[in-house]
Amino acid sequence: MTAQQLDLTADAATLTEQLVNIESISLAELEIADAVEHALRALGHLEVTRIGNNVVARTDLARAERVVIAGHLDTVPLNDNLPARREGGLLHGLGTCDMKGGDAVMLRIAATVPEPNRDLTFIFYEAEEIAAVHNGLRKLAESNPELLAADFAILMEPSNAGVEAGCQGTLRVEVRTHGERAHSARSWKGVNAIHKAGAVLRLLDEYVPRKPVIDGLEYHEGLNAVFVSGGVAGNVVPDECVVEVNYRFAPDRSEAEAEAFAREFFAGYDVTVTDSAPGALPGLDRPAARAFLDVVGGPAAPKFGWTDVARFTALGVPAVNFGPGDPLLAHKQEEHVPVVDIERCEQVLTTWLTA
C-alpha cells in the first residue's frame, strides 16, 4: 500500500479498513502518517503541519470557537489479526476499535466539512500505546503548545459512540514488608516478610471503593494489587515482599491527594510511589461541551480508564472521549468495531459542525 491510496471519498467504514491495512505498530507509524498527511494536503483547505509522525491539520476561518479532534495512529502489536475483515455489520482487525475507526471519521470530517461552524484542529499522533515518553500528543504539547490550543477537545478513543467525560487518575505504589532471613528448617530464627504481606492483601480485600458524583457522572475508584513478589530460595525464610498496588482515583482528587490517601491506607508500611498520572475533570459545564452533548443526545458516562484527555485538561482544554467501538475490546485479538458506530460518530460530528 502506498501513501496515495487513502480514499477520502469512500465511506468511513471503507476508510477505516484502508487505515487498518496500513500496519502501524507503535514507533512504526511512518507509512500511515505519510498516507494521512498526503490525503489531508490534497484537500487544499487545511493548513497541514508534520512533526515526526504527527500530522496536524487546521482550518483558519476566524470562528468564535476552536475545537481539537484527535486520534492516535499507532496500534498495539500484531496478534494474527490483519488484514481487516468485514463480517456482517462488524469490521474486524488490529486497530479497528483502537482507534482507526475514529481516525477514519476524522478524515471524513476533514474532507466533507470544509467550512465548519467552529474552527477545527485535527491531530493525528504517534505512539500512544507505549510509554508516555514516546507519546506524540505529549511531544506536541511540549514543542508546539499553540497547535493544541482550543476551547474544547474531542479524543476519538473508543467509547461506544457515546460521550465519556473526564478520566480517572492512576497511581502506582510499592508496599514493602520487611522480615529477617533464616533457613526454613529453623524458621523460628527469622521473620517471614511474605507472611506479613498477608495483612496488606487483607486491607486491599476489605477496601470499599469511593464513587463520587462529578458533573452528574458517577466515578468508581479501584485499589488493586497488580503484582506481588517475594522469596530468596526454596529453603530460606524471606526478608522482603513487595505488593505493587494500582490506585485508580476519581478526578476530584489530585495526584497529591491520591498519594496521601495511599500512604494513609497503608500506614505503617514502607510505601514507594512508582508512577502517577492525574485524572481529568469532566468539564461538562463548559459551553462547548454542552453544545456537543446536546447533539449527541444520550447521557454522558464517566471514563474510568486513563486517556490522553488528561493532557488536554492539563492544558486547560476541556476534553471528552467520543469514538466508535467498545473500549473493552481494545488490545484484544478479536478487536472489532461496529460499522454503525463509525457512521453515528461521523453523523454526530457533521451535525454539530454544520448546524
* Catalytic center residues: 74, 128
In the complex, what is the shortest distance from the CB of residue 317 to a copy of itself, in angstroms, rounded to a whole number? 22
Q: Where are the beta strands (DSSP E) in 61-199?
A: 66-72, 85-87, 90-92, 119-125, 152-155, 164-165, 169-178, 182-183
- Three-state DSSP at 145 gives helix
Q: Which stretch binds a copy of itself (CB under 8 A): 4-12, 132-140, 155-163, 179-187?
A: 179-187
Question: What spatial distance separates the first Cα and last Cα of the chain, rounded to whole Å?
Answer: 37
In the complex, what is the shortest distance from the CB of residue 327 to a copy of itself, in angstroms, rounded to a whole number? 9
Spatial neighbors of 260 by CB under 8 A, at least 6 apart, are none
Angle at the Cα of 218 from the Cα atoms of 214 and 222, rounded to 5 degrees: 110
- Under 8 Å between Cβ of 306 and 139: no
Place of cell 512508582: 274
- Three-state DSSP at 204 gives helix
Task: Decide whether 71 or 238 has the Cβ nearer to a copy of itself.
Answer: 238
In the complex, what is the shortest distance from the CB of residue 321 to a copy of itself, in angstroms, rounded to a whole number? 13
Which conformational region is residue 268 in: left (phi greater than 0), alpha (psi within -120 to 50 degrees), or beta? left
Spatial neighbors of 306 by CB under 8 A, at least 6 apart, are 167, 168, 169, 170, 248, 277, 279
Cis omega (within 30 of 0) on the bond before 83?
yes
In the complex, what is the shortest distance from the CB of residue 237 to a copy of itself, in angstroms, rounded to a whole number? 5
Asked if residue 195 binds a copy of itself (CB under 8 A), the reply is yes
Task: Decide whether 51 or 228 has the Cβ nearer to a copy of itself.
Answer: 228
In the complex, what is the shortest distance from the CB of residue 200 to a copy of itself, in angstroms, rounded to a whole number? 8
Asked if residue 230 binds a copy of itself (CB under 8 A), the reply is yes
Task: Provide the 8-state DSSP code for 96.
Answer: I
Choose which of 64, 131, 185, 355 interacts with a copy of itself (CB under 8 A).
185
Q: Which stretch binds a copy of itself (CB under 8 A): 62-70, 237-245, 281-289, 342-350?
A: 237-245
Asked if residue 212 binds a copy of itself (CB under 8 A), the reply is no
Q: Residue type for 45, please? A: H
In the complex, what is the shortest distance from the CB of residue 216 to a copy of itself, in angstroms, rounded to a whole number? 20
CA max distance for the chain: 80
Window 157 to 176, contacts with a copy of itself (CB under 8 A) = 168, 170, 172
Size of the site for a copy of itself (CB under 8 A): 50
Choose which of 26, 59, 75, 192 interacts with a copy of itself (CB under 8 A).
192
Crossing angle of helices 287-296 and 339-354, rounded to 10°: 130
In the complex, what is the shortest distance from the CB of residue 239 to a copy of itself, in angstroms, rounded to a whole number? 12
Asked if residue 199 binds a copy of itself (CB under 8 A), the reply is yes
Q: Residue type for 26, please? A: S
Q: Which stretch binds a copy of itself (CB under 8 A): 15-23, 55-63, 134-142, 181-189?
A: 181-189
Q: In what order do the strands lie in the sheet with 270-277?
A: 240-249, 169-178, 270-277
Window 75 to 114, contacts with a copy of itself (CB under 8 A) = none
How many residues are there in the chain?
Answer: 355
Choose which of 222, 255, 271, 301 interacts with a copy of itself (CB under 8 A).
222
Choose which of 51, 90, 130, 228 interacts with a copy of itself (CB under 8 A).
228
Residue 232 has, within 13 A of its CA and on its CB side, a CA count of 16
Asked if residue 187 binds a copy of itself (CB under 8 A), the reply is yes
Strand partners, 28: none
Window 241 to 280, contacts with a copy of itself (CB under 8 A) = 241, 243-244, 246, 248, 275
Task: Decide whether 200 or 296 has the Cβ nearer to a copy of itself.
Answer: 200
Window 279 to 308, contacts with a copy of itself (CB under 8 A) = 304-306
Which residues lie near a copy of itself (CB under 8 A)? 168, 170, 172, 183-188, 192, 194-202, 204-205, 209, 220, 222-238, 241, 243-244, 246, 248, 275, 304-306, 328
